[in-house]
Structure 1
């Protein structure tokens, strides 16, 4: 096992990761879905309706309610942020980082955008 594989496994033990249909339901109940994929990937593969686009290098500043760069949606630390990337690897690391800064309900989407699309959930072109 590589170092990153060990790190990823360790990080995921602290997350309540959501399968696509679980994430869909959580969003319907008020969770915020965050697309961290690069713009080029979003242009080619599409997106998820209603997802907030925050590229990875801005994530912590935009989600932390105490940050000067916080999004209007970042009103408190109890928000359930569901981060997704293309396949669900980088998003686990991103969600763990959000938890480190005090966003205790942050998690990610198992399998990322590809799993969401494969599950037949809504996507945009």
Structure 2
């Protein structure tokens, strides 16, 4: 029952995140990332699992998270140079480290959701 509720929540949340990314300059990437996760969680609600898809997606998401962590104005800069400034404030072009940090944590959340379904499916 808990897994069912989590998958419903993740499906709706990831679809919502995809929607708010539609107007971004990199919408093609983020809408795709969130919709893959949303569809995977939505199908898991009906106990339809695709373990190989989860592994491929998790692999991509984690590699991209590492890139965001170490990139210029990435998560490491947010921690070391900007003293973990609040990431819930509004995004400004002068603070790209906030967007990259948000994206990093989004990728970790998506990876965790898909990993849960991967282990349930196996």
TM > 0.5 fold call = no
Higher RCO structure (Cα 8 Å, ≥6 apart): 1
With normalisation by structure 2, the TM-score equals 0.29
With normalisation by structure 1, the TM-score equals 0.29
Bigger fraction of residues in strand: 1
Bigger fraction of residues in helix: 2
